[in-house]
Amino acid sequence: MTNKYELPIAGEQFRDEVADAYSPKLGKKRKRQILVNQIGGDGTVPEILANTRTAPGILTMRGCAYAGCKGVVLGPTRDILQIVHGPIGCCFYAWLTRRNKTRPKTPDDPNYMPYALSTDLQEDEVVFGGEKKLMAAIDEAVALFHPKAIGIFSTCPVGLIGDDVHAVARAAEEKYPGINIFGFSCEGYKGVSQSAGHHIANNKVFTDVVGQLEMKKEGKFRLNMLGEYNIGGDAFELERIAEACGLTLHSTFSGNSVYDEFASAHTADLNVVMCHRSINYLAEMMETKYGIPWFKVNLVGADATAKSFRKMAKFFGDDELMKRTEAVIEAEMVEVEKVRNEIRPRCEGKTAMIFVGGSRAHHYQDLLREIGVVTISAGYEFAHRDDYEGRKVLPTITVDADSRNIEELTVTPDAERYNPRISEAEKAKREAEGFAFNDYSGMMPDMPDGTLVIDDCNHFELEKLIEYYHPDLICAGIKEKYVVQKQGIPMKQLHSYDYMGPFAGFKGAINFYREIDRLLNCNVFKFTKAPWDDSPELSATYNN
Amino acid sequence: MLLRHTPPGLSERKALTVNPAKTCQPIGAMYAALGIHSCMPHSHGSQGCCAYHRSSLTRHYNDPIMSTTSSFSEGSSVFGGQANILEAFTNIFTLYNPDIIAVNTTCLSEVIGDDLVQIIKKAYEDKKIPEGKFVIHANTPSFTGSHITGYANMAAAMVKYFAKSTGKKNGKITLIPTFIEPSDMTEIKHIATELGIKYIMYPDTSDVVNSPMDGHFRMYPKGGCTKEQIAASGDSDAAVAIGRLGAFPAARQLDTQCKVPMHIVDVPIGITATDNFVEMLRKIAGVAVPESLRKERGQLVDVLCDMCQYTYGKKVSLLGDPDILLSMVQFCKDAGMEVLHVLTGTPTGKVKLEERVRELYGDKVIVKSGLQCDMFMFQQLVQENKPDLIMGNTYCKYMCRDMDIPLLRIGYPIYDRIGQSYIPLTGYRGGMHLLLKILSIFMDRQDRDAEEENVELIM
């Protein structure tokens, strides 16, 4: 997809002028994080600096490791009872705010998602240690909720006062042998963003949950979907499509999921990875330990969804499955194309900017492109180089002090349960035929030459982008939303969508087209300018 | 059922909080700091604190909430955050050019023991703070108090850093509101203006977090109390703390520091509390109550008398923050409603919440406050004795739906409705809004639930 987009003011000029506003040191660093995209003949893209500290005092879009661990990865699971160990705030802010939907199968099935549990650490406990209170909180939680699993999430002070949540978890497990209890050292100061928390979550889920239960769901084509968090019902839509195609979704990490599905995820035959940034670790480790192959999918955008489901069908290599998948795609695309054709003329040629996440800034470009909207600048909030440039750069990524502090697990094949779903030879054969495994080619190769790629974009730069390029639409987070909208530019919040959804899959694509149509073409933003703004004073006075 | 795991009866808990009815200090401090004109609130801790507080306030106000962070890394957590915050000062003044930076601490920087007084002193010495610019701070450890405590601490910090007594009184009255909405602050200023009183009010978030949309983003909207006004409050004739928990520390600081005599009054919500507020201002300032306020009061009393058949005897349970709760309970009393439960997660300190609620409602009312007093407990209480109406924040909607009890959204946070930015609860006009909302709820229910032959055209 090498095409070119000519920005009205060259990206290089933008980069240099923005960098000049910073201190020389910071400006130099930001110049390595603000790039003009250029795809070389061999598909190479420029090297970007990513997953690096945000300068203090910068109005950043980023959050913390706790948010990545508790909020993103574990939050969407309904029957792991989650206790936040720390002062009250962290528990409060992560309480239902990400719009992860869940659908218990019966009225009696556990659903702890509307419950926010905290040890509400007080000064005494900060001084004398909070482990006793945590243990007491676990006792009370067990008595009230009778969960089959408990996750404990550490907040900033926990690490500093030396509370060992893992020791408490072990002691609690001895006391309650039927309950799987595990702790996450996801203190907010770890790493440089939410990303550290994703990794910490992946590690613990891998060591303490996956593989704990031998349960196989019925079905010939069983797979796990990793990195889909059911925001606004995205996972519901993907479950619907998977079922229609004849795929058995063994588990989703972690939208609309339950503990047993996690615990038995090692019995599935394929992992597909949706949000590469937040969960690629788990996919890699499951392949090494259990022999489950994985590949990247994109289920945002109708065409991308079709492509991804085709790839899943192709992986299993079953004619019937492939036929059924084609039939589903054909049926679904009728409505998709109808709506697309209706909306596209109204959106064609409009420009957008996207600054979110570790995958969404990439995925949503597909959706926008489907209705003719060009993304002229994009960047991730907390991604790494591989999310920009592709996994091929993984061996060349330098590990800095902040990343080194996040444990990298050494994984070996499971003595009994390692079972390569396809042989090395078969894998190599398929790869030679162009079927990519363990792949992610990154965002930059999919963006036109000349567009701006900005890692960890901040408020100042966003303001400058608006000043330089006047985009028609901006997609970012809730903190940026009203800054943008005050200027009369519509803004789509793409972390939790704020309202509505799903945006994934076929029905999601239709919802998104309609949403963007509304944002770009609804009259309301035209009122930001009052009729008298252009001629503030009348030349005469009228008394009557 | 959304909250299917809450068993009936009160569960004894000593360690576990479930569904908190409070949040942490720094967010209150951030909100208060937004009430200073041209001020950048700064969160001294991990990025996540600032991100969460901004997100929460943004969702509540649907307006830009600007605040910076010291972006602690693991290194700063070990070696202290001084280097981070000094770098932050440079970046903030260079890029965002506020007049003032208001720093709040977090549990992290408090545990590390960062000494903000020393750090700020060093910043001035090292010329990290440009000429004519200021940095203030409040200690807001998340492991004591609640968001209300944080708000109170930041309000007191404003006094501590800026209020000065020149020895010459300026004839003004300083108004210090507790954690209330910008619309409520506007309404309080309206009352003072109608009374003909010269006042200084801070924190004042009106025209900051409810700014109009005109095609321009302003990092520092036109609202907020200026540093000069806060300084001049040291010369004011009197100070009025509006809401004891959130406003008393600032008023006491002003008294200690500048010898400004202090008065405490409840948040003027409803007739009685607003009457008390007007009476207090009238007496302090030596002014008469103008016709305009008499009319506002009279109209509220008019509606209350006309419609109290729909409020009288109705049972209400309230959840929220102490200062607001006290006035809301008084309002319920004014309207002839019966309060069953009052609950807050915020420690009430010297507010005497329980005593004051009992003065109005005797022994029958259940009052809970402090540790482990949370929405889980509130739900258990409500399950035992079901009210006709719950007043509380957005999170109450889950239990209200499960039990089919109407919810009047009051307090923090309100994520799922709008209006709190623009439509006050305070003053007589706010009382009217409040009363109309309550009447609509009860009358809509009557229309919905009445037998067909009992549906009334005229109500």
pLDDT at A544 over 70: no
Q: What is the pLDDT of residues A336-369, one digit of tens each?
A: 999 999 999 999 999 999 999 989 999 999 999 9
pTM: 0.97
Residue with tokens 């019995």: A267
Give the distance from residue B362's alpha carbon to the nearest chain A alpha carbon, in angstroms: 31
Domains identified in chain A and CATH numbers: 65-191 (3.40.50.1980)
Q: What is the pLDDT of residues A370-418, one digit of tens each?
A: 999 999 999 999 999 999 999 999 999 998 988 888 999 999 999 999 9
Residue B400 bears catalytic tag: no
CA distance between the termini of chain A: 65
Tell me what ipTM this predicted complex has.
0.97
| Contact status, residue A325 vs residue A245, Cβ threshold 8 Å | yes
The residue with greater pLDDT, A170 or A541, is A170
Handedness of CA A91, A92, A98, A101 (dihedral sign): positive
d(CA A11, CA A34): 9
Reference A85, options A128, A116, A124, A127; nearest CA is A116
d(CA A122, CA A450): 53
pLDDT of the residue at A1: 47
Residue B447: count of CB within 10 angstroms of its CB: 12
Contact yes or no for A405 and B14 at CB 8 A: no
Residues in chain B within 8 Å Cβ distance of A483:
64, 66, 217
Reference B179, options B117, B250, B130, B116; nearest CA is B250
Q: What is the pLDDT of residues A446-468, one digit of tens each?
A: 999 999 999 999 999 999 999 99
> Following DSSP, what letter does each residue of B172-191 receive, concatenated?
-EEEEE-S--HHHHHHHHHH
> Catalytic residue among B24, B39, B107, B367, which?
B107
Contact yes or no for B24 and A134 at CB 8 A: no
d(CA A200, CA A210): 15
Joined together, the tokens standing for residue B23 give 């949040």
Digit-by-digit pLDDT tens for chain B (459 residues) are 999 999 999 999 999 999 999 999 999 999 999 999 999 999 999 999 999 999 999 999 999 999 999 999 999 988 999 999 999 999 999 999 999 999 999 999 999 999 999 999 999 999 999 999 999 999 999 999 999 999 999 999 999 999 999 999 999 999 999 999 999 999 999 999 999 999 999 999 999 999 999 999 999 999 999 999 999 999 999 999 999 999 999 999 999 999 999 999 999 999 999 999 999 999 999 999 999 999 999 999 999 999 999 999 999 999 999 999 999 999 999 999 999 999 999 999 888 999 999 999 999 999 999 999 999 999 999 999 999 999 999 999 999 999 999 999 999 999 999 999 999 999 999 999 999 999 999 999 999 999 999 999 999
Q: A118-150 in b/e burial notation, b at 16+ Cβ within 10 A?
A: bbbbbeebbeeebbebbbebbbbbbebbebbbb
User: Which of A21, A64, A479 lies nearest to residue B48, judging by beta carbons?
Assistant: A64
| Contact status, residue A152 vs residue A184, Cβ threshold 8 Å | yes
User: Which of B53, B69, B85 lies nearest to residue A60, judging by beta carbons?
Assistant: B69
Residue with tokens 């059922």: B1
Domains identified in chain B and CATH numbers: 25-161 (3.40.50.1980), 173-290 (3.40.50.1980), 292-452 (3.40.50.1980)
Q: What is the pLDDT of residues B267-279, one digit of tens each?
A: 999 999 999 999 9
3-state secondary structure of B105: strand
Q: Residue A360: which residues within 8 A CB-CB, separation 6 or more?
A: A275, A300, A354, A494, A495
3-state secondary structure of A89: helix
pLDDT band at A539, cuts 50/70/90? Answer: low
pLDDT at A538 over 70: no
pLDDT of the residue at A543: 64
pLDDT of the residue at A542: 65
Give the distance from residue B15's alpha carbon to the nearest chain A alpha carbon, in angstroms: 5
CA A427 to chain centre: 28
Count the helix, strand and coil residues of chain A and give each as a percent rounded to the nearest 5.
45, 15, 40
> Catalytic residue among A15, A19, A30, A64, which?
A64
Joined together, the tokens standing for residue B126 give 């090292």
Residue A69 bears catalytic tag: no
Find the angle CA(B331)-CA(B333)-CA(B335) to the nearest 5 degrees.
Answer: 70
